[in-house]
Amino acid sequence: MNIKRQTNVLRVFRKIHRLTGIALFVFFFVVAISGILLGWKKHSGGSILPQTQQGSSARLQDWLPLDSLRRSAEEAILTHLPPGTSTVVDRMDVRPEKGVVKVRFEGHYWGVQLDGASGKVLQVAPRRSDWLEAVHDGSIVENWLGISGGYFKLFYTSLLGLALVLFSATGFWLWYGPKVLRRAKRKR
């Protein structure tokens, strides 16, 4: 590759790298910080993700039916949060080894942990990790704007993923290109 062409390639890559970095700086910053916090969620002492409680029985045959547990979780959330709070269950995370069912709701970031055998409420707590995950993957914007179908999240994650690939390629060439250029100049 001749020196003039190599120099032009480096200029173009530097410009692409710089402009993409400027355009997406805030998004990469948000993704990086939320990703770090999500990585630490289980080691945060319960401040990001509530610690899993211990139920009374790990034997599923001792457990109440899921519908009874769901009703207990709905009642628990209504006693801890203001009237009108959503009681629509988004997910029930069954942890037989712990004897616990974790219940998450739509429309807010609170969860209830129940003893699977007795239905006793073990914990009602905010799930900050769910909020962080929504920030991390862009679905929080969909929620705020009322967009359904996951299209914004798909656009957001695709854009940032492709930009990361672009940064990797241009960054590598910005590091390696000058080495090639110096070698070419030495050969002249």
- What mean pLDDT is predicted for residues 73-94? 94
Residue 142 resides in a domain: no
Residue 1 is predicted with a pLDDT of: 58
- What mean pLDDT is predicted for residues 15-27? 90
Residue 177 resides in a domain: yes
Residue 96 resides in a domain: yes
CA distances from 140 to 64, 107, 114, 145 (A): 34, 11, 27, 9
Residue-wise pLDDT for 28-39, tens only, equals: 999 999 999 999
Q: Model confidence at 113, in pLDDT bands (50, 70, 90)?
A: very high
Residue 137 resides in a domain: no
Residue 125 is predicted with a pLDDT of: 96
CA distances from 124 to 53, 76, 113, 117, 121 (A): 11, 7, 7, 18, 8
Residue 20 resides in a domain: yes
Residue 8 resides in a domain: yes
Residue 144 is predicted with a pLDDT of: 87
On whether both 78 and 41 belong to a single domain, the answer is no
On whether both 120 and 56 belong to a single domain, the answer is yes
Q: Model confidence at 137, in pLDDT bands (50, 70, 90)?
A: very high
Residue 138 has pLDDT above 80, yes or no: yes
Residue 141 resides in a domain: no
Across the beta sheet with 89-95, the strand order is: 89-95, 100-105, 110-115, 121-126
- What mean pLDDT is predicted for residues 96-123? 96
Q: For the whole model, what pTM was predicted? A: 0.79
On whether both 113 and 158 belong to a single domain, the answer is no
Q: How many domains does the chain have?
A: 2
On whether both 67 and 104 belong to a single domain, the answer is yes
Residue 76 is predicted with a pLDDT of: 96
**Among 126, 159, 177, residue at a domain's last position:** 126
Residue span of the structural domain in which 99 resides: 50-126
Residue 101 resides in a domain: yes
Residue-wise pLDDT for 46-62, tens only, equals: 999 999 999 999 999 99
On whether both 102 and 120 belong to a single domain, the answer is yes
On whether both 67 and 105 belong to a single domain, the answer is yes
Residue 146 has pLDDT above 70, yes or no: yes
In percent, the amount of the chain with pLDDT more than 70 equals 99
CA 23, distance to chain mean position in Å, is 22
Residue 128 is predicted with a pLDDT of: 95
Q: Model confidence at 4, in pLDDT bands (50, 70, 90)?
A: confident
